[in-house]
Structure 1
Amino acid sequence: MLYLINGRKINSRRVIMRNWIKKFIQFNILLGFLFTVLSSTVFGMEEQINRAVVFPIDYKGKAFINGEYVSFNGDEKIYLKDNTTYVPLRLMTYLISNDEEHWEAQWDGAKPNEVVLVCTYMEKIDQGGWMNTGKPQTSIKLTVDSKTMISKGQMIELSATPKKINGRIVLPIRAIGEVLNREIAFKDGLIFISKEPLKLNDKQADAIINEIKERFWDTSKKVKKYKVVEDDEELIAAQNVNGKTYFNVVGYNSSSQIWIQKLYTQGEKGPVLLKEIKNYVSVREPFVEDVFYYGEEKQGQVVLNEYNLNTKQTRQIGELDIKGHDFSAIVKIIPKENKIYFIAHYGDYTMGGETLYVVENGKVEELTGAKQFGSIIIENGKIYYSNINFMGNPTNNLFEYDENSRTEKRLGEEGYTYDVNRRETLYSVANSLKLLENKLYTLGYLEQSDQLPCLYSIDLQTGATKKLSLPTSQFWIVNDKIYYIEATAQTLITIDLEGNGKKTLINKPIAQAKFNGKSFYYTLLSNNNDLAAGFYKYTLDTNETASLSSKRVKDFYIGSSKIGYITTGYDAGIYLIQDGKTIGIEKDPAYDYLFAGEQMIIINVKDNKLEILK
């Protein structure tokens, strides 16, 4: 059948098809609109709350600040008086601070009822995060029992007055929030501070709020904890050997007025003391595999010992004469075949320097020195190392030391700095030196340029240097392939050992990546360069990506049989993946943590006590 439309004969099937296509397009536009609305509702609420400050009216030292679950020392309380909520002064300044504004209170004892809140500028830096410039942005003056606030010489009327309760100045949170352009909301016993209004009256918000409330008020513990150290002790390091955890603790003995180092192991009812070391010297990395290294100062000598964690046997390694030297610490110990190498630091950590020694058959011998040793590789009588000198000339800092001839030569190109991460004015040790056959691989850049660090290879036979990669701060070498995180886009790229065959494997901005076995484990960055939700595994053999968690993961540990990860945000917690199952270990966030062998050791700080999860 034919239709006459605008003077043209049109086949009826074509008319029906056009109408169907038109409706299909309209339907998809509507569907896309609905998806956008739903997405902004479902995901937007979570992001809104992650950018807010949330804490309970029944405040007990815990709050969510910009998605981070934090704990405060002190005994601050929130008060309710005359239908007004009051927050202690210093707590208030912390809660209203954010990435862009830093608030602090200034109080003069001569004027006990007056306080000035000062805000300073915060500037975003390219490396991520914010920096306090110290430049005053604004200030406000408040007086107890007065509704008049003074800002920039102008008097502003508050809806409620500051008070003094139990000798402390407390501020009316809603009134202060109003003049500081903060949105203050209350729901289900929680207080919300945000820059934008929060939509707290929907099911998505209810689910998140219930999760937050559970964090604040759930006191149940699913795991057993051990008290490891007292108030006056500090946990230095931990190691796991054959399923048993060992702890290195340092404390001050007030009765004998000396510092004492202790080695504990994990027992059924708590820590068991194995060794107590008086007159100890600092060893920064005391655990190396299944050995605990420690030093004692005796009559101008540093006596270096090793304690085997398996056999429980102690052996003296050697003695270092430090008479007349400003000895500070042993910063690194490297066992290699029948020798033990160690690095000693002399002087303070700004102007001092370091020396590399070797111990063989109990005899200590000096080898070479550096301002600060970066990466160090010992292989076949050769020692390859970087000399890190941030306070002076950082260039020409890569060396090969021949242990047999006691000679040293410089590696790399003139004017280049190696094994250092540089981004604008920020510098850090990259620990990037890797040896493969007759070539060294490391990060490097021309100092007198704006070049970001790139990956270079250095032929140890010819001395030839070759640039292999785009700018990067992290790389791995696996099965004759190089994998690196490109510094600008933060994507994962692979190349061969000559820098050819460039291929992008993960085309999303990576926040953190670790390699284990044949897989990369990684988290991602969001569009605004914050940590995004999601924890992933990319397998090299299959080029497949698997999702391990939908939560925001701030750090993780990859073992041979299990994966531990720590989440942040309103659902912060500690989790283990084992035998394909995810197990929630702890709902409280980890304030600090160590990765020791096959075990992730979580340190929680409560009431100034240190505890470790078993």
Structure 2
Amino acid sequence: MSTKFKLTSLLLSAALVCGAVPAFAAEKAAPKPLSQTFDQMVIIPYDYHGKAFINGEKTDLYGDYDIVQRSGRVLVPIRLMGTLASQFRSQGTWDTVWQAQNPDDVIFMNTGLKKTIKFKVNSTTMLVNNEPKKMDVAPQKIGGRVVLPLRSAAEALGKNIQWLDGLIVMGDEVVDEKSAETRAVKDRILTQLKDTRKPVVDEKRLTPITKFGDTIYYTKPIYQSSGILQRLYRKTDGKKEILVDIPGEPMLGSDGVIGHDLYFVSTVNNQGVLYALDLTNNKVRKVSTLADWKPSDGWLESISMMDNELYLNLHSGDLTMGSETLYRVDKGVLKKVTNAHSIIGPVKSGDFLYHADFSVMGSAVNNLSRINLKTGERKAIGQADFAYGITRKQDTQGGISFGVNNSMYVKGGNLFVLGYKDSDPKDEGSVYKINPADQTQVKLTPAAGPFWMVDDQIYYVDGATGYLAKTDVNGAQPKTVVSRKVMSAQLLNGSLYYTSNDAGSSYDPGVLYQYNFATGKEIKRSDKPVSSYYIGKNAIYYLSEGYDPGIYKIDAKGNTRLVSDRIQTAKLTDEGLVYTLTYKEGVYSVK
């Protein structure tokens, strides 16, 4: 969620509370404890220090937006208003209309809700779908800007506002102010929002890469007149940092760690080169030249091992018109495997590699290929009117969105992949079993999102419910196994880990769960809302941005809070997590 969205919500929240009148939509709602509604609310303190809780996450707000008070009422600039309304997921997008030829008129329109709100400077009447509504204070022009009464805006938007011992709380729910659960969390919320610290400035912000033994590796920005350079450093516990000597001008934002090697690309004498830093001795070796590609042409999209062979995907151009080429490194030489606008997958099975292609600007159909790694022959597979590795969804306002899914499995000579029929506008994508030999395919699931193959079972997120379901490799015996919305899922160590929240939003924090495939049981793993999580060899780590922020560890001993501060970035390594803090310089680690 953008800072602008959050800031707009914040300002409207403050104004609405000052009006002290609940809005229409929430008047009949049953009160709930704040702990239960926290991840669906916007919360700021009256003693404001630039921080807020937005949908359960502590947020630093930026921007020079002045809230104006007149006669005990609060007004806010119009440019914040439309963004505010769009902050509420249930309302979709609001468009703001202000025209120089009619400088006193401001209109907010929501196509999905079929709703229009019109304000006029110095008029105490607003029009909601052309129906007049009285306001106790009129919009005004202050300092050359039109500002609007936020209490009236709240009534038009249908939001509930409450004041709670120094907190301003806004949302669709009514908070039970007398609840013991509310009292238990409100002071912790207020403590976090009274924090006056400022985030570390970009010039001093480090980016953790990995940790090997007792040494942390990270990048540091070096600002020059020609641009920003990234330099690699290492720091061993109790010692000073050391600059790692790397040939040429490295691109360190797309590096990758495989085993004890840190791979990165660099430009040397106008030639792209792939290098590896051996973390056991801190020596750099040349892996391969990069043909006619160099870092200024694009970026290293990915680097991975498949069947003990090194593959790298080099992106050229931008995201819209660019392309990708997959190479195999063979005795220090790049061997081209395949190319596409954007490579989906790939998956290797024997002498064949399978992948799909996704083009933002072009057609998605006929995008599935099989590459013979011995001969280089490329064969289109699947059916002509289908797009694979892509999901398609129509929103309530008539728009269409596409999503890429890299899940591909080969079993019994068949390829399992998501696909949809392009000529059927209602087809959002299902799991298919494709026989590459004769191009036949079998639809195995209803509309589905991510899916995973475990033994002879296919587990998938049901497109209609968001629940976790399963079926066999023939599409028989479908069954729902988890009746809650599954988001941010990861398959590891014989279990599926995922988060879930009441809003059903993948953008917001959720409780962490584990589904064990062997037992068929679901286990709740976190006792705090999880913003992100990492599955290590011996423990699970998760970050919380709520009123008890920090890093938590889950192991046989239970949930342990390792760090009690807001985390800026974190990365999982074999040695635990390496991370940076939002308000303190440096790079740190926990295990």
Given that residues 254 and 301 in structure 2 are in contact (C-alpha distance below 8 angstroms), is that contact kept between their aligned partners in structure 1?
yes
Q: Distance in 1 between matches of 2:517 and 2:355?
A: 31
Correspondence for 2:560: 583
Q: Distance in 2 between matches of 1:83 and 1:322?
A: 67
**Equivalent residue runs for 1:108-119 within 5 Å:** 119=108
Deviations along 1:61-114, one digit per CA (max 9) or x if unpaired, are 111234443221247787999877787887788667533276799999999xx9
Q: Distance in 1 between matches of 2:155 and 2:437?
A: 70
Deviations along 1:437-493, one digit per CA (max 9) or x if unpaired, are 533222122222232322223345565433333322222222333222222122222
**Gap change, CA 1:428 and 1:594, over 3 Å in 2:** farther
**Which residue, out of 450, 454, 462, partners 1:486?**
462
Correspondence for 2:117: 138
Q: CA deviation at 1:277?
A: 5.6
Deviations along 1:348-393, one digit per CA (max 9) or x if unpaired, are 3222222233332233343432222111234544322222223222
Correspondence for 1:297: 267
Q: CA deviation at 1:431?
A: 0.5
1:189 aligns with 2:177: no
Correspondence for 2:384: 414
Q: CA deviation at 1:44?
A: 5.3
**Which residue, out of 345, 352, 359, partners 2:322?**
352
**Gap change, CA 1:507 and 1:174, over 3 Å in 2:** closer
Correspondence for 1:552: 529
The structure with the larger Rg is 1
Q: Distance in 2 between matches of 1:399 and 1:292?
A: 31
The SS at the match of 1:286 is: strand
**Gap change, CA 1:336 and 1:72, over 3 Å in 2:** same
Q: CA deviation at 1:325?
A: 12
**Equivalent residue runs for 1:461-610 within 5 Å:** 464-526=440-502, 534-567=511-544, 573-586=550-563, 588-590=565-567, 593-597=570-574, 599-606=576-583
**Which residue, out of 232, 239, 243, partners 1:273?**
243
Q: Distance in 1 between matches of 2:443 and 2:575?
A: 36
1:402 aligns with 2:372: yes
**Structure 2: 5+ residue stretches without partners:** 1-28, 395-399
**Gap change, CA 1:533 and 1:395, over 3 Å in 2:** closer
**Which one scores higher on RCO, CA 8 angstroms, separation ≥ 6?**
2
Q: Distance in 2 between matches of 1:101 and 1:472?
A: 24
Q: Distance in 2 between matches of 1:463 and 1:243?
A: 53
Correspondence for 1:451: 427
The SS at the match of 2:371 is: strand
Q: CA deviation at 1:546?
A: 2.7
Correspondence for 2:229: 260
**Gap change, CA 1:402 and 1:283, over 3 Å in 2:** farther
Structure 1 vs Structure 2 CA RMSD: 4.4
Q: Distance in 2 between matches of 1:482 and 1:249?
A: 43
Q: CA deviation at 1:56?
A: 0.9
Correspondence for 2:363: 393
Letter in 2 for 1:484: Y
Q: CA deviation at 1:306?
A: 1.3
Q: Distance in 2 between matches of 1:162 and 1:303?
A: 61
Q: Distance in 1 between matches of 2:365 and 2:548?
A: 46
1:61 aligns with 2:61: no
Correspondence for 1:317: 287
Correspondence for 2:5: none
Letter in 2 for 1:346: S
**Equivalent residue runs for 1:353-392 within 5 Å:** 353-392=323-362
Deviations along 1:508-537, one digit per CA (max 9) or x if unpaired, are 332343332233333335377687964333
Correspondence for 1:98: 88
Structure 1 window deviating more from structure 2 (267-276 vs 480-489): it is 267-276
**Which residue, out of 401, 405, 413, partners 1:430?**
405
**Gap change, CA 1:64 and 1:290, over 3 Å in 2:** same
Residues paired across the two proteins, number:
549
The SS at the match of 1:488 is: coil
Given that residues 238 and 246 in structure 1 are in contact (C-alpha distance below 8 angstroms), is that contact kept between their aligned partners in structure 2?
yes
What's the TM-score once normalised by structure 2's chain length?
0.76
Given that residues 327 and 344 in structure 1 are in contact (C-alpha distance below 8 angstroms), is that contact kept between their aligned partners in structure 2?
no
The SS at the match of 2:290 is: strand
Correspondence for 1:208: 185
The SS at the match of 1:553 is: coil
